[in-house]
Each structure stands twice: as C-alpha cells, then as structure tokens.
Structure 1
C-alpha cells in the first residue's frame, strides 16, 4: 500500500530565492543556504531554509544530476560534509522525536518527504518543515546539513528510514 504525504512541487526553481526575498514583505526571508555537492565534489544545486510569517520554515530544494527514483532527503544535525560518504553530517535533526511520520512520537524536525527524481535528474521542491526551529536546530553550535540518500525513506525504520547511502550533501550557512 502506497502512502502519500503532502509535498509541494514547483515547476522550475532556477531562481528559487530572488534577491528581493530578504524580508517578510515577500512572504518569506531566507535564513540559511546550502550549496549541495555530490560524492565527486561537484556542485549540483542549492537548498534554502526560509522564515515565514506563520513561523513554519519553508525549505526550497533545487538540485540536479541525481539518479532517477525516490530519494530520502533530510536535514542533518551536524554542518560537516567532509567525510567521503557524508557520515560526518551525523543523524537527522531529531529534537525529542522519533524518526518517521508512520511512527508514534514522530517525525523528526529534519524528516522531509521523499523526493521523486525523474529522467532529467532534478529535485525542485518547496516543503513546509513544521517543528523545525531554525535558530535552535539549524544554527546550533555545530551547524546542520542537507543530505540526499540513494533510496527512499520508508518513514518508519529507526533511526533514519532505511534510505540508503548518502549521495549528496551541503552545509547550511547564514544567508
């Protein structure tokens, strides 16, 4: 049985965060930005975390050159992509939650819906990240990172959804 999770997809996010979007007059303000690299160190896109009037962060993903299929995407607890397999980024931003939307006590604030990559190899998405505290979780003492996994998150397995190897990573910096 396939479960669906609300996931807003934008047709094109080539200019995902316009320069004018630095104040809430435009609906959101960019707080953090990560340049995403693959395992070869090649730049493949960006992810921003944006503040909104409602207080629910908006994560905008614009990443290319990924293999087709469903991929787990997550916000990770450590701002470090130095390990060749990106394990230096640690686990998901967890707060006091369990992993996954199909688990009582879940999801982690860093759990995001799977991204479906089609033939062109791109993820272009806007995702509301309820439960994520930008100042306390993204900009804590050791920072945070965005990870793309090789497979889909099952939204259930502990501690991280059994989504496979980490194939892309980016460290969040203040915008």
Structure 2
C-alpha cells in the first residue's frame, strides 16, 4: 500500500507592529500531521501559538483570522485536557535570549484537505501571540496581541 506523504510550508507575516517572522511547515503521513515552525524576532520567554478559524491575515492586528479553530465546540484549554480543548489549542513555546524559537507538534486530530471538517486545517491560520496562554481564560487563554500570522492555503 502506498503511503501518502504531503508537505506544505508557509512564511509567517509580522503583525501588530512586531518583527516576528518565521516559517511553518505541515507534513501529513501515516494519519498524523507534524507541524514544524521556526520563528525570529520574538521577545525572550514564553508565547502562545494557535490555529485560528480563517486563513485571512489581512488585518494589521491579525484579528481577521477569527477566533481559535474549534470545530468540536469545546471550551478552550490545554491540549489533551479532559475538560476539553480547541483543536487549535497548540499551547505555549519558549523563545531563547535572541528571540528565536522552534516548535514541533504532532497530532492525529489534524489532516490536510481531508473530508473531515473536525480535522481539516486547510483554510485555517497559524497565529503566534505576544503573551502566554493561561489555558483557563475563555475563549482565548488571554494570550494577548497576535504578533505573527500565516494562512494554511493550498
């Protein structure tokens, strides 16, 4: 049986007067999607990263992407939490003293252009936030300004 593997990659655009640039890549293989992202221009420390509803980075503050992608209508939370979480709730990552970071994330709850709308991340957006996701505040985790954006478009 042939194993289908597909990779799509995007450049991140700075938002909200930040200088946060980077690239994000998604690879689908064997029923999993692997996200690999690298960023520069961040303030050192922790930042939130989420998948948002719409692949529209036109707004200067990134709000054109809508809210967190939440196709299963759950409360916001930490990925895997029994109380529930959004399919877009990737969580937090840490930037080093130079403002660089690499994020790797793998899940079988995403797909690229499959028929299952609760899993398909195509047409959504990746957003990096200035602040930290507290995993409690609804519906967004109070993660602050949207400082980098890309659409997941084929």
Q: TM-score, normalised by structure 1?
A: 0.74
Q: How far is the alpha carbon of 1:29 from its aligned partner? A: 3.0
1:117 positional shift: 0.7
Q: Which runs of 5+ in 1 are unaligned?
A: 1-22
Unaligned runs of 5+ in 2: none
Flag the structure with higher strand content: 2
Q: 1:62, 1:123 within 8 Å by CA — same for their partners in 2?
A: yes
Shift, 1:75, TM fit:
0.8
Q: Which residue of 2 aligns with 1:122?
A: 100
Q: Does 1:138 align with 2:121?
A: yes
Q: Deviations over 1:98-129 (max 9, x none)?
A: 21128644221111120101111112121113
1:24 is displaced (CA, Å) by 5.1
Aligned mates of 2:148, 2:134 — CA distance in 1: 19
1:65 is displaced (CA, Å) by 1.2
Quickly say closer, same or farther: Cα 1:101–1:65, change in 2 above 3 A: same
CA distance in 2, matches of 1:132, 1:157: 24
CA RMSD of aligned residues (A): 2.3
Name the CA shift for 1:24/1:121 in 2 (closer, same or farther; >3 Å): farther
How many residue pairs get aligned? The number is 145
Richer in helix (by share): 1
What is the aligned partner in structure 1 of residue 143 from structure 2? 163
Q: 1:109·1:130 contact (CA, 8 Å) conserved in 2?
A: no
Q: Does the aligned pair in 1 maintain the 2:78–2:91 contact within 8 Å? A: no
